[in-house]
Amino acid sequence: MQSLENQIWRSRLAISTKLKLYNTCILPVFLYGLDCWVISKTDSCRIDALDQWCLHMLLGIKWYQFVHIDDVWRLTKQPKLTAIILSCRLTLFGHIMHMDDNADAKRILLVPLQWTGEDNQVVPASRGAAPSNRI
């Protein structure tokens, strides 16, 4: 993103062209493999901050200019990156739920989990609550 600053983001290209480049070149690289991500609240805030930084750079807004991020999203008509991630994960969940009940992905997703209480460990309920102490 930063290496393209002088060539594309600061050029006289129309904002719509810059957004198309951003959506076709930058976002797919960032979102690759998002189905496997585990995202905490902190990660979510960082992802939205990255999104904000990218859109500010794309629009030519400097760090010292106060432009509210909601105004930037409204101007660019871009959804938040976290909203895109959530949408893709829900789509994957929908695909898995429509699979045959014997499909491995569905069985793994629907396995009941049980909290052991030791080191905040979660195990499948079929293994039992107590870990074995075999040597």
Answer whether residue 70 is part of any domain.
Answer: yes
- Residue found by looking up tokens 């995202």 in the block: 39
Query: What pLDDT shows up at residue 47?
Result: 92
pLDDT mean over 62-74: 83
What is the span of the domain harbouring residue 41? 5-98
Total count of domains within the chain: 1
**Residue 81 burial by CB count (10 A; 0-12/13-18/19+): exposed, middle or buried?**
buried
Mean pLDDT to the nearest integer, 49-67: 85
Whether residue 126 lies inside any domain: the answer is no
- Rounded to two decimals, the pTM is 0.67
Residue 130 in domain: no
User: Does the residue 105 lie in any domain?
Assistant: no
